[in-house]
Amino acid sequence: MGGMRPDIASQMVDLCSALLLLTCFAIIAQRRLSACVDLFALQSVFLAGTAALVAFLTGIHHIYIAALLTVIIKVVIIPRILKKVIERLNVTRELVLNVNIPPSLLICGALVILAFSITQPIISLGFLLTKDSLAIALAIVLIGFFTMIARKKAVTQVVGFLVIENGLFLAATAAAYGMPLIVELGVFFDVLVAGLIIGIYTHRLQDTFDSVDTSKLTELKE
Amino acid sequence: MDVALIGLIAMPLIAGLLSLAMRTRRSMERLQCAHAAVLLVAMSVVVMNVAEGSVITIGILLRADALSAFLDLMLAFVGATSLLYALGYMGEESTRGHVLHRRYRRFFCLFNLYLFAMLLAANVDNIALMWIAIEGSTLSAALLIGFERTKAALEAGWKYIILSFVGIALALFGTVLVYYASEHVLGVSMEALRWEDLYRVAAELNPTALKLAFVFVLVGYGTKAGVAPMHTWLPDAHGEAPAPVSAMLSGLMLNLALYAVLRFKSIVDRAVGADFTEPILLGLGLLSVAIAAIFLMVQRDYKRLFAYSSIEHVGIALVGFGIGGPVGVFGGLFHMFNHALAKSTAFYAAGMVMLRRGHKTIERVTGLVRQMPLVGGSMLLATLALAGMPPFGLFVSEVLIVTGAYGRGQWMAYVFLGLLAVAFATLLSQVFRMALGEPMEEGVPVTDRTRRFTASALVINLTAMVYSGTHMPGFLHDLFLPMTRLFGVTVEIP
């Protein structure tokens, strides 16, 4: 435990996880697309911080590698791809939302409560250090899910998907002290390729439909 | 036999990378034919060895037991015939100038990588690496679905990306939950992710964590399997993807996703008993059959028609697993196998109609049997099989599942039978309209070179379909016993 008192260490991990959750709310409350991407990058910084903290406190070294990869892929590469897409598409704001911002925030609050109540019975299983992280991780996954439903622009849907990924990563690192290294490398590879494919698709959507408003995808219906 | 398993998995990867270097259509044809032959040989060695009762393990990463070998059988067989078919289909597209040679090569690269990811997922001995492989198959499929770059294809691809990425993320959460439970027994280690060790300690795992994990895994992989109500991407993707891709999606990927669900079910059942998983599977299965039966009636596009029929058949297999017991489990597994054969045949035929007529509207297609005897005949036979007529294997499995359903509750069996009857009638009437009568349009006949490949794929698939309906091949019989044991039941197969 690096000479630190366990309760303080645990509270530090909780603080980092809570910051992750907070950025989710900021993303939900944000209309400007490039700000959403910045917030996602900020969230990934917190995620890397949490992972590094867990690695330091537990002495499991391979989590450092995961933290480093998070910085490279989720703080640098993917936000850069998304920024390029936004620039090229010339869209800056979500003008019409499926769900407006105030009700969105309320729904997300409810999702957090739901996540805590779902995970309550199994939280006692977890390590002392990272007890509450599983609930927070599930809350982040659910909020990411909601973002994908509540927003129309392809870019924000992608941010929602990436937020879900961050929640999953928090679950794996904080609640389960990291998956084996080969697994984490595989997951990172998949996330990176997914980011590239989504980039390719948004380009093609723009070329073909002159828009990335997914509510215009209405060709295929019963 | 280690070599065979490694060869089976590595061959599509190698062939996929080599495809990018093929300069002519002829060299691509040679490469892919060799690839298909290697797949079949390697698969036979693996299946024969496992059927004799051994489990092939290589290091800590690969493991082929009966269930994996069963998947290998379907993946390699349908994979090989769809490679043949794709040589014809994409070759024709390239001859007609719809697809440049650069994209023709890229198609085969993606197609082979897709097959590679699925074979890896079926044989990897680790729940998290399986997730990575399935995600890999999702990624390659996403590019294959939008391959034709029409508005509709892009829309279908986008829907597929959004839904299946979310689905697969939820499946990862379920996987992490299993790990969260198992590392308390096995420690923070690779063992806590291996199937074999999970089976060993399943009874000691925390039941609540496993229940929660199963729900996430079912929703996640269920999305990939096209289980209602997460099925909405499926008709679009199957309808808009090039026909060889539709055949792989329907015949193989749905089964692979079911395989993942079944693996988790077999662990969760050991920890909390089958009473938890069975009602959920039964409910979702019935819902899928019901939704498919309704939407089959209103279809005007023949590829979407077959897509909804896939949702129906996934539902039927789930009903089988939900009923459980020897009859249900055997019925469900046998159903998956026969559906893979029949549905890939149907999509091969549908693709040929598409090439000839250039559209997918059911009303404008008539007289297929007269105009294209092999294609029309195959479509008719595959539809008869899909509708559940004897002498095809789907008849056997459907009868078994209905019998099992009757044992579970009479009203349920009647509802299930009623839904099957609706699906039966609509599917047959729609396809009869296309197959019989006088052809209205002449269309553009395909070249002989194309026909050589597509016809052989159709004939091989038809032969296997008829054969497995009338006989139970010995090796398949030997695989079923250990497979059903995995689900805690033992079957005496006549």
| A134 lies within 8 A of chain B by CB | yes
E strand intervals along B19-149: 56-58, 62-64
CB contact under 8 A, B154 and A204: yes
Q: How many CA atoms lie within 13 A of B170 on its CB side?
A: 23
Out of A141, A187, A222, the one facing B298 most closely (by C-beta) is A222
B7 CA to centre of own chain: 22
Alpha-carbon distance A74 to A47, whole Å? 10
Choose, out of B60, B155, B160, B360, the residue to mutate when testing the contact with A (most A CBs < 10 Å).
Answer: B155
Listing DSSP states for B131-189 in one string gives: HHHHHHHHHHHHHHHTTT--HHHHHHHHHHHHHHHHHHHHHHHHHHHHHHHHHHHH-SS
DSSP A153: B
Which A residues, 28 through 47, put their C-beta within 8 Å of a C-beta on chain B? none
Torsion of CA A151, A154, A159, A163, to 10 degrees: 70
B473 three-state secondary structure: coil
| Residues facing residue B58 across a β-bridge | B62
List of long-range contacts for A5-13, beta carbons under 8 Å, 24+ apart: A6/A128, A6/A129, A9/A57, A9/A129, A10/A128, A10/A129, A10/A130, A10/A131, A12/A53, A13/A50, A13/A53, A13/A54, A13/A57, A13/A129, A13/A130, A13/A133, A13/A174
ipTM, interface predicted TM-score of the complex: 0.90
CB contact under 8 A, A125 and B149: no
Asked if pLDDT for residue A156 goes beyond 70, the answer is: yes
> What residues of chain B lie within 8 A of the CB of A179, using their CB?
128, 176, 179, 193
Out of A125, A197, A220, the one facing B142 most closely (by C-beta) is A197
Alpha-carbon distance A205 to A201, whole Å? 6
CB contact under 8 A, B126 and A154: no
B62-64 vs B56-58, strand pairing mode: antiparallel
CB contact under 8 A, A194 and B135: yes
User: What local confidence, expressed as pLDDT, does residue A1 receive?
Assistant: 44
Output A222 or A55, whichever has higher pLDDT.
A55
The minimum CA-CA distance between A158 and chain B, rounded to whole Å, is: 8
| Residues facing residue B62 across a β-bridge | B58, B124
Task: Count interface pairs A-B at CB distance under 8 A.
Answer: 128
Domain ranges of chain B: 2-486
* Number of folded domains that form chain A: 1
Asked if pLDDT for residue A43 goes beyond 90, the answer is: yes
B355-to-A157, B25, B248, B351 alpha-carbon distances in Å: 35, 18, 18, 6
Which H or E element spans position B394?
helix B393-408
CB contact under 8 A, B180 and A180: no
| A58 lies within 8 A of chain B by CB | no
Question: Omega into B229 within 30° of 0, i.e. cis?
Answer: yes
Out of A145, A168, A208, the one facing B176 most closely (by C-beta) is A168
Exposure pattern of B461-470 as b/e (b: 16+ CB <10 Å)? bbebbbebbe
The minimum CA-CA distance between B315 and chain A, rounded to whole Å, is: 20
CB contact under 8 A, A219 and B151: yes
| A64 lies within 8 A of chain B by CB | no
User: What local confidence, expressed as pLDDT, does residue B140 receive?
Assistant: 94
Out of B151, B172, B209, the one facing A122 most closely (by C-beta) is B209
| A190 lies within 8 A of chain B by CB | yes
For residue A96, is it within any domain?
yes
CB contact under 8 A, A161 and B126: no
| A121 lies within 8 A of chain B by CB | yes
- Residue in chain B closest to A192 (alpha carbons) equals B139
E strand intervals along B29-75: 56-58, 62-64
- Per-residue pLDDT band at A150 (split at 50, 70, 90): confident
Out of A154, A176, A218, the one facing B183 most closely (by C-beta) is A176
B319-to-A149, B231, B283, B330, B396 alpha-carbon distances in Å: 30, 16, 8, 12, 15
Alpha-carbon distance B95 to B457, whole Å? 20
The stretch A116-144 carries a mean pLDDT of: 83
User: What local confidence, expressed as pLDDT, does residue B27 receive?
Assistant: 95
The minimum CA-CA distance between A194 and chain B, rounded to whole Å, is: 7
User: What local confidence, expressed as pLDDT, does residue A207 receive?
Assistant: 80
Alpha-carbon distance B234 to B237, whole Å? 5
Out of B152, B172, B190, the one facing A220 most closely (by C-beta) is B152
Which spans in B187-301 are helix H? 195-201, 207-225, 233-240, 243-248, 254-272, 274-297
The stretch A158-166 carries a mean pLDDT of: 90
Query: Which residues, 6 or more positions from B397, have their beta carbon under 8 angstroms from its beta carbon?
Result: B316, B320, B331, B332, B334, B335, B338
- Residue in chain B closest to A148 (alpha carbons) equals B162
CB contact under 8 A, A187 and B154: no
> What residues of chain B lie within 8 A of the CB of A200, using their CB?
143
- Residue in chain B closest to A176 (alpha carbons) equals B180
CB contact under 8 A, A220 and B129: no
CB contact under 8 A, B176 and A179: yes
For residue A34, is it within any domain?
yes
pLDDT in tens, chain B (494 residues): 789 999 999 999 999 999 999 999 999 999 999 999 999 999 999 999 999 888 999 988 899 999 999 999 999 999 999 999 999 999 999 999 999 999 999 999 999 999 999 999 999 999 999 999 999 999 999 999 999 888 899 999 988 988 888 898 899 999 999 998 888 888 878 888 999 899 989 888 989 889 999 999 999 999 999 998 999 999 999 999 999 999 999 999 999 999 999 999 999 999 898 899 999 999 999 999 999 999 999 999 999 999 999 999 999 999 999 998 888 999 999 999 999 999 999 999 999 999 999 999 998 999 999 999 999 999 999 999 999 988 899 999 999 999 999 988 888 999 999 999 999 999 999 999 999 988 888 889 999 999 999 999 999 999 999 888 888 888 888 898 888 888 877 666 55
Q: Which two tokens stand for residue B72?
A: 């290998």
Burial class (CB in 10 A: 0-12, 13-18, 19+), A88: exposed
Q: Which two tokens stand for residue A56?
A: 């330091």
Q: Structural domain of residue A181, as residue ranges?
A: 6-214
